[in-house]
């Protein structure tokens, strides 16, 4: 189905936000996925640079600054589109949140509170990593933290590669495996944040 | 024969085709005005050739007003009527500037709305004071350009909130200026360096002024400048270097450190020496301690640098924080721009270069660069050249809600690009709870008392349900101007309530910086307090559950069981009045263990009642 402009009836492109023919900002479409709002195909293996370029190009036309003197309805549509574009960029550019979003789209809540982390191997790895970080913090060992950070970084790249495989075809046919990978990625992501904070506070002392 | 046309000095070559536009850097200590003349952004000077206008306004009797150097010179003798640093008061309420009031010699008028100052010329708002500064800059522009400017771009700090931006716009209107756009100061500096014309990239703008330090990380891509993160220290600047040197000089000289005349003399000489040492390696400082002969002290650049090193180092934590907030590594930075007079000090440049591992851009006078960027943007907006840039702003401070136990649940973290909308689900705490109080807060700390209250409102008409069954969805929407709307809705029934608030209304720069600083230094303390608070919430929940259960079904217990429960219940109440996290947790667990038989019997009896009800229905059929 092709959308048409609510004002002049011309065909709209993707996303159906601005009419190329008469320039009218279209009523916001809450039913569109984050991918559709950004005018991109739904896929996990996403070029983040291309996503950013695309979203910013759309923001240039849809940002409320462009409708400062427009009618209230147009200002509201612009706000809604612009808000949703910021959300799309924030979620889709992050490999963790992007995977979570895709799984949620097929009804899988892999990071929800109800999910029990049952993988004993992951629990062991978590404990070992945390103990290492605690020791490094106690020793104010900045170069050791850097080594750990690179290790975690590499591990994350590995998990993202695995997710690319698991989420290669959508909907995902192995949601349990994807969910487990997602939880592993979430743990590594949190650990990376902690390493960053530890490095910062060790430097600032 | 056609007459030859000669353009007036200072005017554009084609006066009838060019539209006049100006850019103004309305600063805390001084202000400037610039315009694009013959394609070159140029800062305009006064009759004496000075381009800086001290941001000081003095009200005299009889309606006279002095602005700039003469006003600054009178600050010591006429402090009540001489207003300096008015930028710190813009968009602020009376209550907000109480913390500042101790440092400001002004006579603040109590009342609602924006703070007002009592002067010999009557009560003045910061907007009016700022308008006087803008009027002088406008006159300077009209004289230089030979006509009224069509529009102006005024710069504001990246973290200025809507109230502060609105106050700045109001001041411009009062001065008879048409504001085309308010522009973030770091973005203006980036535009002045032509970074918007060049390749895409990520830039750090290091702005060390007289009394404030700001670091901003910007990203340029596809003609959009995004502020990725801002951080800073509103009590760090070139003045601190002067003070460090002055302290050293006074220690060496002896003399009465409490003598204000002596202090002022040493401070003045310290500033002069610091400025001289930006160009030469050694300078002489002339000092005249009271009752002694004048004499000279030799100061080398090396000595100065060792004295001011601690001051300069204080800017690094904010740089690291900004990088982390932006999710970037040092190697991601493509360029560093220096802004602010204090960045002329070679030791500052050296430290910036060492930290960011690249030579900073310093070609443009760091005092002028912001005004020049504003002039370029103004020129573009009146239609003289190039495509308009888009600036994506971010939230200066996190927004959150109060949850049980005086804790703050962050809904939108600081430095999130706006506009933005976020939702979070909450639930009821008590059985049959029909209303919920929504308390909107701003700040980085974990506890309500350490954050700023923005608004309170209630969601009423929630249908009575057991604790934890209601689903209250609270949505925050921040628009591109930084205005916040909060909506609460019980998703099962559609009961809703909403309020519009201005984030950070009434917050001053110091408070923003202090709140950021506090969250940083009090992290560990907050964790302990958060644990205690969470234990209290759990303890209260258990106590409430026990009370409800006993009130309804005490008859299910025998005397011994009842006694045990009363005993552990009393112990829990006792523990809750203290502040030992572990004691509270243990007492709550003891109650839960002791109450297990009661819980079991209540469920059995509820089940029996349900079955009994069913059988009566069956009989009725």
Tens digit of pLDDT for each residue in B155-180? 988 767 666 777 888 888 888 898 87
B328 touches chain A (CB under 8 A): no
SS3 B377: helix
B316 in contact with A, Cβ within 8 Å: yes
**pLDDT, tens digit (0-9, with 9 covering 90-100), for B391-410:** 677 777 788 999 888 899 99
SS3 A25: strand
| Total residues found in chain B within this entry | 621
Nearest CA in chain A to B415: A90
Q: Measured between alpha carbons, how far apart are the two ends of chain A, in Å?
A: 61
pTM over 0.80: no
CB contact under 8 A, A82 and B480: yes
Q: What backbone torsions phi and psi does residue A81 show, to the nearest 5 degrees?
A: -65, -45
For residue B508, the model assigns a pLDDT of 45
CA distance B620 to B613: 11
Model confidence at B512: pLDDT above 60: no
A76 touches chain B (CB under 8 A): no
Phi-psi region of B110 (alpha: psi -120 to 50; beta: other; left: phi over 0): beta
In this structure, the number of other CB atoms found within 10 A of the CB of residue B111 comes to 11
Which residues of B are annotated as catalytic? 25, 87, 185, 207
Asked if residues A44 and A102 have their Cβ atoms less than 8 Å apart, the reply is: yes
What does the pLDDT average to over B80-102? 76
| Distance from C-alpha of B82 to C-alpha of B105, rounded to nearest angstrom | 9
Mean pLDDT of B325-354: 93
Residue B542 has what pLDDT?
Answer: 87
CB contacts of B329 in chain A (<8 Å) are: none
- Give the C-alpha separation, B469 to B601, whole Å: 22
Any B CB within 8 A of A113 CB: no
Distances (CA, A) of B423 to B121, B410, B419, B477, B494: 50, 11, 14, 9, 15
Q: Region A125-154: what's the mean pLDDT?
A: 91
* A60 closest CB neighbour out of B223, B420, B421: B223
Q: Which residues of B touch A89 (CB under 8 A)?
A: 417
Chain B positions in Cβ-Cβ contact with residue A70 (cut-off 8 Å): none
Is the pLDDT score of B515 beyond 60? no
Judge whether A202 is closer than 8 Å to chain B, CB to CB: no
- d(CA B586, CA A60) in angstroms, rounded, equals 57
**Rounded CA separation B36/B104 (Å):** 37
Instruction: State how beta strands B108-109 and B122-124 pair.
Output: unpaired
Highest-confidence segment of B113-122, B163-172, B191-200, B307-316: B307-316
Check: complex ipTM more than 0.85: no
Minimum Cα–Cα distance from B318: chain A residue: A204
CA distance readout (Å), B55 to A115, B91, B103, B132, B370: 59, 17, 17, 10, 16
Q: Cβ(A36)–Cβ(A15) under 8 Å?
A: yes
A83 and B321 in contact by Cβ < 8 A? no
Averaged pLDDT, A58-68? 81
Q: φ, ψ for residue B245 (rounded to 5)?
A: -65, -40
Average pLDDT over residues B493-517: 56
Measured between CB atoms, does B390 come within 8 Å of chain A? Answer: yes
Distance from A83 to chain B by nearest Cα, in Å? 5
- Subunit contact A86:B391, Cβ cutoff 8 A: no
Rounded to the nearest 10 degrees, the angle between the axes of helix B346-356 and helix B316-326 is 30
Whether the per-residue pLDDT at B315 is higher than 90: the answer is: yes
Task: Quote the distance between the C-alpha of residue A156 and its chain's center.
Answer: 15
For residue B83, pLDDT over 80 is answered with yes
Whether A112 and chain B come into contact, CB under 8 Å, resolves to no
Cα B354 to the center of its chain, rounded Å: 27
In chain A, residues with a C-beta closer than 8 Å to the C-beta of B165 are: none
Q: Which residue from A52, A57, A86 is facing B419, i.e. has the nearest CB?
A: A86
- H helices present in B146-219, as ranges: 162-174, 185-192
Of A186-195, B119-128, B336-345, B551-560, which gets the smallest average pLDDT? Answer: B551-560
Determine phi and psi for B573, rounding to 5 degrees.
-60, -40
Which contacts qualify for B2-8: CB closer than 8 Å, 24 or more apart? B8/B146
In which band, very low, low, confident or very high, does the pLDDT at B148 lie, cut at 50, 70 and 90? Answer: very high
Strand B30-37 relative to strand B53-54: parallel, antiparallel, unpaired?
A: antiparallel
Contact B190, B225 (CB under 8 A): yes
Of B223, B226, B421, the CB nearest to A83: B421
- Give the burial class of B121: count Cβ atoms within 10 A of its Cβ; 0-12 exposed, 13-18 middle, 19 or more buried: middle
Structure tokens at A122: 């992951």
The DSSP secondary-structure symbol of B462 reads P
CA separation for the pair B370, B364 (Å, rounded): 10
| Both tokens assigned to B262 | 């002596």
> What is the rounded distance in angstroms from the CA atom of residue B167 to the CA atom of residue B480?
17
Give the whole-angstrom CA distance, residue B560 versus residue B538.
26
Give me B553's structure tokens.
């079904």
Q: Which residues of A touch B224 (CB under 8 A)?
A: 56, 59-60
Taking CB atoms and an 8 Å limit, are A83 and B420 in contact across chains? Answer: yes
CA distances from A185 to A53, A155, B43 (A): 26, 9, 53
The position carrying tokens 């993202």 is A160
């Amino acid at each position: 189905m092709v959308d048409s402009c609510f004002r002049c009836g011309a065909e709209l492109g993707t996303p159906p936000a601005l009419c190329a023919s008469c320039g009218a900002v279209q009523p916001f479409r809450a039913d569109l996925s984050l991918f559709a709002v950004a005018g991109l195909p739904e896929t996990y293996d996403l070029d983040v640079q291309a996503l950013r370029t695309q979203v910013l190009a759309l923001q240039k036309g849809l940002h409320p600054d462009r409708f400062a003197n427009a009618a209230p309805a147009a200002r509201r549509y612009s706000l809604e589109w612009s808000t949703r574009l910021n959300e799309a960029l924030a979620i889709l550019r992050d490999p963790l949140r992007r995977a979570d979003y895709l799984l949620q789209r097929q009804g899988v809540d892999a990071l929800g509170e109800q999910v029990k982390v049952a993988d004993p191997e992951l629990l062991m790895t978590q404990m070992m990593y945390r103990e290492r970080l605690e020791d490094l913090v106690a020793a104010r060992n900045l170069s050791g933290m850097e080594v750990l950070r690179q290790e975690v970084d590499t591990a994350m790249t590995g998990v993202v590669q695995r997710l690319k495989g698991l989420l290669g075809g959508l909907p995902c046919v192995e949601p349990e495996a994807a969910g487990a990978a997602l939880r592993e990625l979430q743990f590594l992501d949190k650990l990376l944040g902690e390493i960053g904070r530890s490095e910062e506070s060790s430097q600032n002392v | 024969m056609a007459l030859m046309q000669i353009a007036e000095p200072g005017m554009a070559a084609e006066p009838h085709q060019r539209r006049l536009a100006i850019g103004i850097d309305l600063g805390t200590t001084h202000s400037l005005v610039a315009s694009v003349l013959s394609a070159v952004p140029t800062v305009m000077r006064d009759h004496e050739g000075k381009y800086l206008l001290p941001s000081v306004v003095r009200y005299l009797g009889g309606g006279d007003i002095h602005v700039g150097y003469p006003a600054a010179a009178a600050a010591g003798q006429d402090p009540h009527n001489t207003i300096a640093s008015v930028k710190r008061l813009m968009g602020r309420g009376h209550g907000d500037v109480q913390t500042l009031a101790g440092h400001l010699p002004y006579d603040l008028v109590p009342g609602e709305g924006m703070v007002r100052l009592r002067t010999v010329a009557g009560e003045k708002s910061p907007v009016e004071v700022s308008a006087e500064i803008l009027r002088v800059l406008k006159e300077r522009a009209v004289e230089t350009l030979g006509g009224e400017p069509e529009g102006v771009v005024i710069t504001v700090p990246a973290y200025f909130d809507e109230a502060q931006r609105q106050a700045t716009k109001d001041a411009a209107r009062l001065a008879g200026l048409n504001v085309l756009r308010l522009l973030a100061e770091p973005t203006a500096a980036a535009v002045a360096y032509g970074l918007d014309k060049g390749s895409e990239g990520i830039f750090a703008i290091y702005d060390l002024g007289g009394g404030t330090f700001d670091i901003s990380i910007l990203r340029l891509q596809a003609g959009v400048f995004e502020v990725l993160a801002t951080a800073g220290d509103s009590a760090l600047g070139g003045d601190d270097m002067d003070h460090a040197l002055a302290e050293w000089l006074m220690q060496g000289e002896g003399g009465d450190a409490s003598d204000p005349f002596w202090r002022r003399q040493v401070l003045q000489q310290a500033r002069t020496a610091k400025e001289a040492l930006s160009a030469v390696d050694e300078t002489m400082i002339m000092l005249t301690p009271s009752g002694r002969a004048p004499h000279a002290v030799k100061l080398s650049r090396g000595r100065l640098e060792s004295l001011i090193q601690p001051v300069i180092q204080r800017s690094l934590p904010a740089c690291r924080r900004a990088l982390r907030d932006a999710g970037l590594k040092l190697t991601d930075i493509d360029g560093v721009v220096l802004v602010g007079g204090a960045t002329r000090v070679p030791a500052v440049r050296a430290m910036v270069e060492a930290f960011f591992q690249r030579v900073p851009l310093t070609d443009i006078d760091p005092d002028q660069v912001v005004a020049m960027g504003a002039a370029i943007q103004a020129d573009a907006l009146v239609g003289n050249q190039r495509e308009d840039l888009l600036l994506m702003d971010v939230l200066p401070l996190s927004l959150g809600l109060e949850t049980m136990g005086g804790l703050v649940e962050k809904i939108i973290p600081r430095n999130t690009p706006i506009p933005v909308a976020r939702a979070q689900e909450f639930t009821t705490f008590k059985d049959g709870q029909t209303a919920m109080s929504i308390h909107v807060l701003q700040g980085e700390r974990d506890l309500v008392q350490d954050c700023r209250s923005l608004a309170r409102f209630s969601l009423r008409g929630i249908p009575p349900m057991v604790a934890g069954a209601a689903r209250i969805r609270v949505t925050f929407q921040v628009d591109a101007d930084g205005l916040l709307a909060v909506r609460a809705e019980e998703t099962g029934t559609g009961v809703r309530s909403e309020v519009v608030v201005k984030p950070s209304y009434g917050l001053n720069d110091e408070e923003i910086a202090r709140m950021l600083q506090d969250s940083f230094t009090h992290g560990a303390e907050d964790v302990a307090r958060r644990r205690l608070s969470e234990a209290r919430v759990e303890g209260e929940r258990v106590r409430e559950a026990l009370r409800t259960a006993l009130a309804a079904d005490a008859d299910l217990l025998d005397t011994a069981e009842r006694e045990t429960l009363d005993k552990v219940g009393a112990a829990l109440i006792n523990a809750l009045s203290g502040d030992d996290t572990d004691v509270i947790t243990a007492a709550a667990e003891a109650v839960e263990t002791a109450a297990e038989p009661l819980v079991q019997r209540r469920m059995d009896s509820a089940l029996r009642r349900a079955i009994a009800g069913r059988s009566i229905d069956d009989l009725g059929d």
